[in-house]
Every structure is written in structure tokens, then in C-alpha cells.
Amino acid sequence: MRLTNQAEPPKSQLTQTGTPSPTPLVTRSETRSSKCTFRDAAYGQESDMPLVEVTLTEGRSPEQIRALISEVTAAVAHAISAPTPNIRVVVREVPDTHWAAGDVTIAERRNQK
């Protein structure tokens, strides 16, 4: 999508230098609900933009994290028919000494075994 016949593009479509972005993929649509919706330029319609956050203890390989991202993305696309480009997945890795349940960290639980 090229910006044509517009005096000034919206700020959301500008790069850091202030020049128009050559091909904006999504533009924000205002909504009053807590659900984030976007007008998807490729699909020409408003669609959900799901965000999935996964928190794990450290220790998995980059390949395992990448596989997790792919599987979560596919599951969300299948479950709610969201376009794959709209799905966001954030993976956070936490040290096992920084995650506790019942005042016992995961590291302490592992050491008790």
C-alpha cells in the first residue's frame, strides 16, 4: 500500500526519520473495548491482534523457543481464525531463582529432590 493523495500521513505510518513508511502492514483503529483491533491493510478489514505471553524458566534451546512460538501461533490462528501476521507471541525466560510458589523457588524445589 503506497501513500498517495495524502497531504500528511498519520504519525503511526512514519519512520523514525519522519518519512512515510513504504508499506505499512497494519494501522491502528481506535476502540473503546480492551480488545485490540487493527485494520489490516492486506485483508482490508478489522481483525483481532491477539497477544500471547509465555513465561518459562531459563534453560531451553533457541530451537525449542522457536518451535514454541510456531506452535502457539498456529494454535491461535486455528482456534480463533486470526490472520497469522496479526498474532503476537512474547516468550519470557525467568531464572529459576526468581520464580516461587508457596515461598519456595523452583531452584529450591529442584534441589530438594
Residue 21 and residue 35 share a domain: yes
CATH classification at residue 111: 3.30.429.10
Beta bridge partners of 101: 104
Residue 30 and residue 4 share a domain: yes
Please give the pLDDT value at position 33.
34
Which residue is catalytic, options 9, 22, 24, 50?
50
Give the long-range contacts of residues 39-48, CB within 8 A, separation 24 or more.
40/83, 40/85, 40/86, 41/1, 42/83, 42/85, 43/83, 47/82, 47/83, 47/86, 48/80, 48/82, 48/86
Annotated catalytic, 24?
Answer: no
Residue 100 and residue 68 share a domain: yes
Residue 106 and residue 54 share a domain: yes
**CA dist., res. 3 & res. 10, Å (int):** 10
Please give the pLDDT value at position 39.
54
Residue 40 and residue 10 share a domain: yes
What pTM does this model have?
A: 0.59
Q: Is the pLDDT of residue 9 over 50?
A: no
Range of the domain at 19: 1-49
Q: Is the pLDDT of residue 62 over 50?
A: yes
Residue 56 and residue 36 share a domain: no
Residue 59 and residue 40 share a domain: no
